[in-house]
Chains A and B, each alone.
Chain A
């Protein structure tokens, strides 16, 4: 019925056929989580002592949380079997051996999707796990970019490199926005994270490129517990894109990432995410559990953090990119499109915490549910006592594409200052029959009309994505919609 999911499923199966997973097993540490495992991960990563200390502290905290079943976060509108944390292996080195020798061996369905998404041939190879020709290896492109960035003083590297080369910077900022005590999964991540990215923009520097073009290629295999840290010094600007439109199957079921952003005075950080992890089969089996803690702090006056996300994958999504508006006149933004189908469940939204004066935040969230999926928006807007003249505007719209799916909205508005102006509005409806009729009457097929209307519904958000990704995102949505309607 659902060709898209079906082929994803096939891709999933085919990985095993080629025996890839056995390759991985040799690099994987035994299942279970205890202090020895933390020390083992730490030694594999060549951590300095302070990092090991951090990990152990986080682990001890997590142990406490895990021991008390009441401490496990159950408030989300999600239903999934209890996760057995002893049945998970917490570290596996990225597979270095290519899966295929050439694109001809790759499932033609997968190639078709890549083409539909407009992904260049070379990138296709990397994504599908084909050995890349050394001459046109993306790494060489990456090196050119790196040199250019280095000239401006921008540091952009993997977390492991950052710990090695910029230990002080990492030590100063890591855990300052999302401490290990923040929540269950933040504690878990702080204990076992294996890699991620680090980005530092020096004062007054405007990053000349989207930090995505090469990141997309290099991020493959960064491991299941990623950690990202972005520090934007005074007056700097950076646009950062994480994720990939291409469907990715992963051998890990549980993902618990942490992203921290620090924006100093007048700095601006734009963080865009496209998430398309394996959502599981139509019964919801085998999909990725995505528990992510993302938070930014507008530390200085006039700083701005903007989150844009397109969520189409994962069996379970638990994700609330937040902004702490500490600096006066700071701005927080959250733009989101979440699409769920099959048995997918998403509980996603944001938190805007207004602390400084004259801060403003806007939230625009669009949820589309199809099949038997459940899609929830959960967002908190808190205006603290001292946050004079805070302003918030929230709009969450949900669209339902079937009579067996659910769309939910759980906003929390906590206002403690009378000068605040807070507005929230939400609507839930199905695709407009009049609009459908109009399109069909002009000779547009039902499928295409729905694609058109959904694309229009999300237009506002997709326009916020960096241009090239906006194009891909639109195509991705169209592909996701195929077969999920009608």
Chain B
């Protein structure tokens, strides 16, 4: 338990690193990576507002607080009712097999703790390879404090019958920082659906800094669904880095409901031909929530397809940010890349910042992006009211169907109802 009390914000984390290392000792295979990461963090520090990709998100208030490093705790979870999944439970960032239900996993699929598998070839080859700690401060920080996490491996040709559900439970009574780490490896021809959600058991402020790396092998198929239901004292920085081999398919669905400050970094490197990448996101904010979705699709090889669709509904004084970038590298011909961001502002004080960017270095491509921000369609509202539907209900109906566009895209159909419930909850 290292306390963070020094003066300069970065120094506190550097000092905490020293104490953390001496307290917990170093598990050999990870210490090299961790050392490199902290050195890099010392150099780059936290991103300032001047940093183009953090232009609209000010992290000073959340990193300025004094946090405890998360300690071990005991907890249990029931998971999501009505959903058949293999449940992997992480309590305060540590894999807890006792609380998990993994006995039904099909052959060829394993869910293990990172500390137990740190010396395995799979971890050695892939960990830290996709989540870039040299450029992204929070990834560097996560990597530096790397002790445990989840390693999900789907062997070549194996298919998951039901989704693996990663549940992070955070139990804290003091302001805490928790830094989960996940590595998902889908070998060639493998296929898997992964759901990730978080349960908060405390009521004090919490900073979650999660890093997830996904390797999608040749002709493999991975769906990753991230469900974040925040409370006003929870801030989340997530970094999801995906590496795709040829003919693979990856789909990401990010649902963010509330929270103090949320920053979702999603970067995909399509490093093989005929890749398909789908990025869907829904964010709903009220109160003083701040939700920032930052996506980066890097098309390095020809003949790929990517489609991005993010929707947001912002109420009260909340702020929404969409920062999307598609890069088509030289010689990556025949790329089709689409990007759409639609947002609705419900109050006079809500704000939306949208920055869909294209950077293209190949000529035979079809790329487009679109962004709209506005109010609910007045004609639609009028139509519903003319049919005798009260205004309140008409608005709710329209907003639900607006959000429904994204929900219906989520691959796990049995989750749709739950997602609609969250939407309704946010609109109440």
Contact = CB atoms under 8 A, between A and B. Distances in A.
Interface of A: 75, 77, 385, 398, 400-430
A410 B368 contact: no
Interface string B222-250: 00000000000000000000000000000
A428 B346 contact: no
A414 B359 contact: no
25 contacts: A401-B363, A405-B361, A406-B359, A407-B358, A408-B358, A408-B360, A409-B358, A410-B357, A411-B355, A413-B355, A415-B345, A415-B351, A415-B373, A417-B348, A418-B346, A421-B373, A424-B370, A424-B372, A425-B369, A426-B356, A426-B368, A426-B370, A430-B363, A430-B364, A430-B365
Given A403-B333, A415-B373, A425 B353 contact: no
B356 A411 contact: yes
A77, A402, A428, A430: residue with the most chain B Cβ atoms closer than 10 Å: A428
A56 to B, nearest CB: 29
Contacts of B374: 418, 420-422
Interface in B357-386: 357-375
A406 B365 CA distance: 11
Contacts, number: 117
A120 B332 CA distance: 47
Contacts of A405: 361, 363
Contacts of B358: 398, 407-409, 426, 428
A422 B360 contact: no
Contacts of B372: 421-424
A420 B374 CA distance: 5
A403 B367 contact: no
B373 A413 contact: yes
A128 to B, nearest CB: 36
Contacts of B363: 400-403, 405, 430
Contacts of B193: none
A453 to B, nearest CB: 14
Interface residues of B, number: 37
Contacts of A385: 348-349
B103 interface: no
Nearest to B331: A403
A421 B330 CA distance: 36
Nearest to B325: A410
Nearest to A374: B361
B52 interface: yes
B145 to A, nearest CB: 30
Interface in B332-353: 333, 343, 345-353
B360 A407 contact: yes
Contacts of A404: 330, 361
Contacts of B373: 413, 415, 420-422
A412 B362 contact: no
Contacts of B369: 409, 424-426
B367 A428 contact: yes
Contacts of B359: 77, 406, 408
Given A385-B348, A400-B362, A424-B371, 14 more contacts: A401-B363, A402-B363, A409-B356, A409-B357, A412-B355, A413-B353, A413-B354, A413-B373, A414-B351, A417-B348, A421-B372, A423-B371, A424-B370, A429-B366
Given A405-B363, A426-B358, A415 B353 contact: yes
A403 B357 contact: no
B371 A411 contact: yes
B355 A403 contact: no
B356 A424 contact: yes
What 3 A-B pairs have minimum CB-CB distances, sorted nearest first? A400-B363, A418-B345, A413-B354
Contacts of B354: 411-413, 415, 424
Contacts of B375: 418-419, 421
Contacts of A426: 356, 358, 368-370
A77 B359 CA distance: 10
A353 to B, nearest CB: 14
Interface in B285-343: 330-331, 333, 343
B360 A427 contact: no
A429 B334 CA distance: 10
Contacts of A414: 56, 351-353
Contacts of A75: 52
A93 B5 CA distance: 63
Contacts of B368: 425-428
B368 to A, nearest CB: 4
Nearest to A433: B364
A411 B323 CA distance: 10
A413 B330 contact: no
A315 B12 CA distance: 47
A429 B365 contact: yes
Output the residue of B347, B365, B366 with the most chain A CB within 10 A: B365
B52 A418 contact: no
Contacts of B347: 418
A109 to B, nearest CB: 30
A39 B360 CA distance: 47
Most chain A beta-carbon neighbours within 10 Å: one of B362, B363, B365: B363
Contacts of B352: 413-415
B228 to A, nearest CB: 23
B217 to A, nearest CB: 29
Contacts of B56: 414
A417 B345 CA distance: 8
Most buried by A among B347, B348, B350: B348
Contacts of A418: 345-348, 350, 374-375
Nearest to B368: A427
